[in-house]
Structure 1
Amino acid sequence: MKEIWVNEVPVKETVPGYKGRFIHTANMTFAYWDVEAGSVSPEHTHPQEQVAKVLEGSFELTIDGETVVLEPGKIVVIPPHVKHGGKAITDCKLLDVFYPVREDYRSL
């Protein structure tokens, strides 16, 4: 068993305003984000399935042309290779879970 304290994982900024802490298992990546209000994640795709959850705040997410507002308690599943992007309406804390592992986040 390996215990990990999220607040001890190094912070990496992937795009302006998106500061993430990445935890990798053999099969998944957990990304804990602190996002500044107004920060935008440009539209993109990746081969991983993604589960997105807002822990604090409000986040606008567009998936394949359909926009939803995520707040605590709401989860969305983004299939592999589907275009998506978002914007923090307020300061946010987010959790994204990816399967399989986001190798590009390992190298940050």
Structure 2
Amino acid sequence: MNKQSEHFLFGNDTPIEDLGNGLKRQMLGFNHELMAVKVFFDKGAEGYTHKHRHSQVTYVESGEFHFSIDGEMKILKAGDSCLIPPHVEHGAVCPTGGVLIDTFSPAREDFVGE
């Protein structure tokens, strides 16, 4: 087991939070300006349409996602990514099961209880 430090997080030691409805979240690192999060989707799980004040870049690590951003829908697969500007409605459905890497600027305070 690797010891956590101020600068390094190890996947096997970093908790995975069950969000319910087929979604799980693992924090990959954050400070006040930036946050990276790994999001696990079960087959058919949905990230419901929402918006927030943060800029977001999402990278598809695995699976297929039907993304809607500001009313535009695209199918994204492993290796694809998208940019979501602040205050723009977005959501995704994962018909296959898969994993996203979400980055936010500034960090999502609601994810860490600040």
Does TM-score exceed 0.5, indicating one fold? Answer: yes
Rounded to whole Å, the distance in 2 between the matches of 1:100 and 1:57 is 27
- Tell me, in whole angstroms, the C-alpha distance in 2 between the residues paired with 1:33 and 1:58: 13
The answer to whether the aligner puts 1:20 opposite 2:25 as a matched pair is yes
- The structure with more radius of gyration: 2
57, 61, 67: which is aligned to 2:63? 57
Shift of 1:27: 1.4
Q: CA RMSD in A?
A: 1.6
Q: CA deviation digits over 1:24-66, x for unaligned, max 9?
A: 2241111101110101111100000000111011111100111
Equivalent residue number for residue 35 of structure 1: 41
1:95 is aligned to 101
TM-score normalised by L of structure 1:
0.91
Percent identity between matched residues is 31
* Number of residue pairs aligned between Structure 1 and Structure 2: 108
Q: Which moved more, 1:80-89 or 1:6-15?
A: 6-15
2:93 counterpart SS class = strand
Higher relative contact order (CA closer than 8 Å, sequence separation 6+): 1
Alpha-carbon deviation of 1:76? Answer: 0.5
Q: How far is 1:78 from its partner? A: 0.2
Gaps of 5+ in 1: none
Q: Distance in 2 between matches of 1:17 and 1:27?
A: 29
2:12 alignment partner, SS class = helix
